[in-house]
Structure 1
Amino acid sequence: MSIVYRNSMKTVGKFVPESLQPLWNHPAGPQTIFFWAPCFKWGLVIAGLGDLQRPASQVSLSQSSALGLTGIIWTRYSLAITPKNWGLFSVNLFVAGTAIYQITRAIKYQREQAALISTANGQ
């Protein structure tokens, strides 16, 4: 950790209310990457929620599968590390959830299209 960073955190820490000091000084608190990385990862959740408006025909199964799998893996990892990182857990749970929902939509759409094609062909 650089001297500039350490000194700036000490300075900012003086202004943090007493009630928030336990969070501020937590090993996965705002002074660490373990806090900020999950905060920025919420952008993936917001994008996933925005994609719920996208037609199911435009949902990428490979992209959604990759997001779902990484969400599941990192959700598990966040509980296996010390200290447990609940911010990482929650964001990855939502990443996995939105991705799995998109996968479900895409598979349902593909099955409906296959049924329409087989009906149109008289099968």
Structure 2
Amino acid sequence: MAAFIKAVNAKIRSNPTVSYFCSTHFWGPASNFGIPIAAVMDTQKSPELISGTMTGALTIYSATFMRYSLAVTPKNYLLFACHFINCGSQLTQGYRWIQYHKWGGREESLKVQAESGLVGAVGRVEMEAKALADKAKGVVDK
């Protein structure tokens, strides 16, 4: 059995492309791509949900591993791309967090919500008043 495994491994390692796809240089970054995909998708969510501490930690983590991916031999460009995307999306999330929590975004959001709620309430009252007026007009016309 050991000879069979050794033969299969030798066959895999003889082809550079197959060898790459069967290595940790490929599968490490490929499995790690879930983090930047989630971070990019999170840019569409409310900035109220962003954790500033976690965003900062993930930015430092990504920057560290971007450096590491170029320090190893051979250079791992797939790992670099994964962490480059993650670092960019975490910086975007960090900007959104600062803008919302420190630069007045929360107050602006609450103001817009209050105004839209007020307009909605006034609109509902107007519609109900119009319906009642139409109903009263129908009763008077009889």
TM-score calculated relative to the size of structure 1: 0.72
Tell whether 2:77 aligns with 1:86: yes
Question: Greater helix share, 1 or 2?
Answer: 2
Q: Corresponding residue for 1:70?
A: 61
Paired residue for 1:23, among 17, 20, 43? 17
How well do the aligned residues superpose, as a CA RMSD in angstroms?
2.7
Runs of 5+ unmatched residues, structure 2? 109-142
Whole-angstrom CA distance in 2 between matches of 1:63 and 1:4: 47
Residues 77/5 of structure 1: CA separation in 2 closer, same or farther (3 Å cut)? farther
Whole-angstrom CA distance in 1 between matches of 2:73 and 2:42: 34
Contact 1:48-1:98 within 8 A present in 2 as well: yes
Letter in structure 2 aligned against 1:112? G
Q: What do residues 51-91 of structure 1 show as CA deviations (whole Å, max 9, x unaligned)?
A: 11111111111111111111000001111111000111100
- The aligned length equals 106
Q: Corresponding residue for 1:60?
A: 51
Whole-angstrom CA distance in 1 between matches of 2:87 and 2:29: 14
Whole-angstrom CA distance in 1 between matches of 2:85 and 2:4: 35
- Taking only the aligned residue pairs, the percentage that are identical comes to 27
Which protein has the larger Cα radius of gyration, Structure 1 or Structure 2? 2
Runs of 5+ unmatched residues, structure 1? 14-20, 117-123
Tell whether 2:88 aligns with 1:97: yes
Q: Corresponding residue for 2:104?
A: 112
